[in-house]
């Protein structure tokens, strides 16, 4: 099995920063793998959040780009 190329994340919560701007905290749910053409072809979730907005984000893993 190859190493995952992306992390699957979600917006866990929003909060007010000291300067008054709204910031977001994110959590990792699992991993995704890209094929030889760079297309995501497999996603594995380790967990599902109890409360979230239903949107998942894919972010490249740094170790996959080295």
Domain residue extents for the chain: 6-64
Residue 16: per-residue pLDDT? 97
- Closest residue by Cα to residue 28 from 11, 52, 51, 5: 11
Angle at 52 between CA 28 and CA 34, to 5 degrees: 40
Query: For the whole model, what pTM was predicted?
Result: 0.80
Residue 66: per-residue pLDDT? 53
pLDDT profile of the chain (66 residues), mean per 10: 90 95 96 93 93 92 68
Residue 64: per-residue pLDDT? 57
Residue 45: per-residue pLDDT? 96
């Amino acid at each position: 099995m190859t190493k995952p190329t992306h992390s699957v994340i979600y917006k866990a919560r929003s909060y007010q920063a000291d300067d008054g701007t709204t910031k977001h905290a994110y959590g990792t749910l699992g991993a995704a793998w890209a094929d030889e053409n760079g297309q995501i072809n497999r996603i594995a979730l380790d967990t599902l959040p109890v409360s979230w907005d239903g949107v998942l984000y894919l972010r490249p893993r740094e170790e996959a780009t080295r």
